Amino acid sequence: MADFDEAKIRELDSAISRYVRPDTFPLAIKMIRPGEPLPQGVKVPSQSFGERWIVCQTIGVARRYGWALAVGKQDVICPLAAIAFGFRKPNEEYLKGFAAVGMYCENEQAAARLEASTWKFTPGQYDYVCVAPLSRATFTPDVVAMYGNSAQVMRMVNAALYKRGGRIESTVGGRLDCAEIVIQTMLCNEPKVILPCNGDRVFGMAQDTEMVFAFPWERVDEILAGLEGTHKGGIRYPIPVAMRATVVMPKHYQELLQKLEAEEKESKPN
């Protein structure tokens, strides 16, 4: 991981604010390995507040309150997230789809396939997931994530493809979007578009109008160049809709205007 580059992080925050204008703070996300100290200024809910927060809730608080937070095994009471992030080992019931049968899947076979397809870190690989607004981050992120409407996410997709072209490919399960945002992006080492899951909407307060764009930190220079380059090329947010044609007014309005113009013409001296 590169040394902390505060200037670059703040430059990215400024560029996203200028070119994309999201309603909530863009986030820096870092996975903390065993024995690695937590970054300066980061609070752990179980220690600081006497509360146990799940990952999507932590992301929601960070992007809305502007707090720097970290959650690990002692915080995360969502067993699915705890397993995905490697804070707990999966058991046989999880692998058989115990949590998904009857809620997300019709039968055990489908539920087992759903759990098997979930993005996961190796158990014990990390102790905490750390989340902070870019404007307050004191660490180099593994992933940068931004919530926005479809047009704002489109702007980030445009920026990500500005240098390389091609397409952005993502997988979506409509469930456990925290794993898709963080783990999918890190393991694939590629930008991703994510659909907020039901849990994020209930506990993280994700809105029906929101999607997520995430990218690995090592792409930051490409994203910066892409935001500026596509802006110069005419791709803007808010989207500049076509408004420069002569509109057709209602018939009575047209007739009134004709009368006004005729009266003005008659009143002019010869």
pLDDT in tens, 252-261: 999 999 999 9
Q: Which residue has better confidence, 267 or 144? A: 144
Look at residue 244 in the predicted model and tell me its pLDDT: 86
Q: Is the pLDDT of residue 1 over 90?
A: no
Q: Which two tokens stand for residue 220?
A: 């930051």
Give the CA count within 13 Å in the CB-facing half-sphere of 4: 10
Look at residue 262 in the predicted model and tell me its pLDDT: 96
Look at residue 147 in the predicted model and tell me its pLDDT: 98
Distance in angstroms (rounded) separating the CA atoms of residues 237 and 182:
26
Ordered strands of the 128-133 beta sheet: 69-72, 128-133, 27-32, 143-148, 211-216, 192-194
Mean pLDDT of the chain: 96
Pseudo-torsion of CA 3, 216, 16, 155, nearest 10°? 160
Q: Is the pLDDT of residue 202 over 70?
A: yes
Q: Which two tokens stand for residue 114?
A: 């759903």
The model's confidence at residue 269, banded by pLDDT at 50, 70 and 90, is confident
Q: Is the pLDDT of residue 15 over 70?
A: yes
Strands 211-216 and 143-148, sheet pairing: antiparallel
Look at residue 167 in the predicted model and tell me its pLDDT: 97
**Between 220-232 and 6-19, two packed helices, what is the crossing angle to 10 degrees?**
30
Environment class of 52 (CB within 10 Å of its CB; exposed 0-12, middle 13-18, buried 19+): middle
Look at residue 182 in the predicted model and tell me its pLDDT: 98
With vertex at residue 124, the alpha carbon angle to CA 109 and CA 198, rounded to the nearest 5 degrees, is 45
The model's confidence at residue 2, banded by pLDDT at 50, 70 and 90, is low
- pTM of the shown model: 0.92
Amino acid letter, residue 26: P
Look at residue 83 in the predicted model and tell me its pLDDT: 98
Look at residue 268 in the predicted model and tell me its pLDDT: 84
Residue with tokens 């863009």: 26
Stretch 173-195: mean pLDDT: 97
Look at residue 3 in the predicted model and tell me its pLDDT: 81
The alpha-helical segments, DSSP class H, found in the chain are 6-19, 45-48, 55-65, 79-84, 92-95, 108-116, 150-161, 177-179, 185-188, 198-203, 220-232, 251-267
Q: Is the pLDDT of residue 97 over 90?
A: yes
